[in-house]
Chain A
């Protein structure tokens, strides 16, 4: 069946270092992926998205990489800051399932000063 999962539940990095958060998905038919950031007590916030016809997309300090061969998605955060501390979710659309995003369980990013 289809699933979206994150490789590590918690990632701890030093302030200023780069962070890489990983996500695996099982449905090769998925064609749209989103990364969300959720701070404590708040709703998920859109970070960046990527379509299946792309391998890489860059935003401000963030880059998403998509490897369709191994069904792997990653979020790279450059020069991680304390404000980046949050739970990060990847989500995918499932082909044929109208309007439904499938979310992973989330990775907690802890930034040490």
Chain B
């Protein structure tokens, strides 16, 4: 099993550009999550999904959109990137919602917005 994989590993964007981060998991997990990690602030939940075709907002959803068209994939989109979105983005998945099963994380995508 590859576990949770993320594409790309690193990206540089100019302000206003758009991009999509791809997360894939091969563990047949129902639940998937997108976090951002900033220095000294730990991990903050952006959006999450409890199943194919469903998404929900997390703690910091503004400026991001997500889609879960297939169970194994969870996409994070930035329609108009801003320097404040410079961060490391982590995707995670779990068999069930947090509280019953742990979340498994991908290796991260480092994004720099100029």
Contact = CB atoms under 8 A, between A and B. Distances in A.
Interface of A: 31-32, 34, 36, 41-46, 49, 89, 91, 93, 98-101, 103-106
B96 to A, nearest CB: 9
A32 B58 CA distance: 19
Contacts of B62: none
A35 B90 CA distance: 17
B74 interface: no
B42 A32 contact: no
Contacts of A43: 4, 90, 92, 105-108
B94 to A, nearest CB: 8
A89 B103 CA distance: 13
Given A43-B107, A106-B42, 15 more contacts: A31-B99, A32-B98, A41-B108, A42-B108, A43-B90, A46-B103, A46-B104, A89-B42, A93-B99, A98-B56, A98-B97, A101-B103, A104-B42, A105-B40, A105-B41
Contact of A44 (B44, B45, B59, B105): B105
* Interface magnitude class on chain B: 20 to 34
A89 B50 CA distance: 24
A61 to B, nearest CB: 18
A89 B58 CA distance: 19
Contacts of A93: 98-99
Contacts of B43: 44, 89, 91, 101, 103
A62 to B, nearest CB: 14
A99 B48 contact: yes
16 contacts: A32-B99, A41-B107, A42-B108, A43-B90, A43-B106, A44-B43, A46-B104, A89-B42, A89-B43, A91-B43, A98-B50, A99-B33, A100-B59, A101-B103, A103-B43, A105-B40
Interface string B1-44: 00010000000000000000000000000010100000011111
Given A44-B43, A105-B40, A49 B108 contact: no
B98 A100 contact: yes
A45 B98 contact: no
